[in-house]
Amino acid sequence: EASKAKIAAKEDKLDTILWYYEDLQCSAVDEIISERLREGEQITLPYGKLMERLLLCRMLREGISSTERRYRDRRETPVA
């Protein structure tokens, strides 16, 4: 966790931290992201990519893997 926080703290752009959030995910990095947002740092990711990253963060917090969701969605989709 400490090494992940060091990487996030040294990264210049919040966009990059969000881009690699799957690899950096931990409470210390979450705090770094929150602090940088409170300080007014802007996110410049395109809207679609930002929404994807936010959905990923939510899924990780809820314990849903992106692979698991894809397979579940395929099973629940009715075949015509």
Report how far residue 64's alpha carbon sits from residue 59's, in angstroms, rounded to the nearest whole number. Answer: 5
Report how far residue 42's alpha carbon sits from residue 38's, in angstroms, rounded to the nearest whole number. Answer: 10
Give the number of other CB atoms < 10 A from CB of residue 33.
Answer: 19
Condensed to tens digits (0 to 9), the pLDDT of residues 14-70 reads 999 999 998 999 999 999 999 999 999 999 999 999 999 989 888 988 887 666 655
Number of domains the chain contains: 1
Phi-psi region of 51 (alpha: psi -120 to 50; beta: other; left: phi over 0): alpha
Report how far residue 22's alpha carbon sits from residue 59's, in angstroms, rounded to the nearest whole number. Answer: 10
This prediction's pTM: 0.72
The per-residue pLDDT for 30 is: 92
Structural domain harbouring 71: 2-76
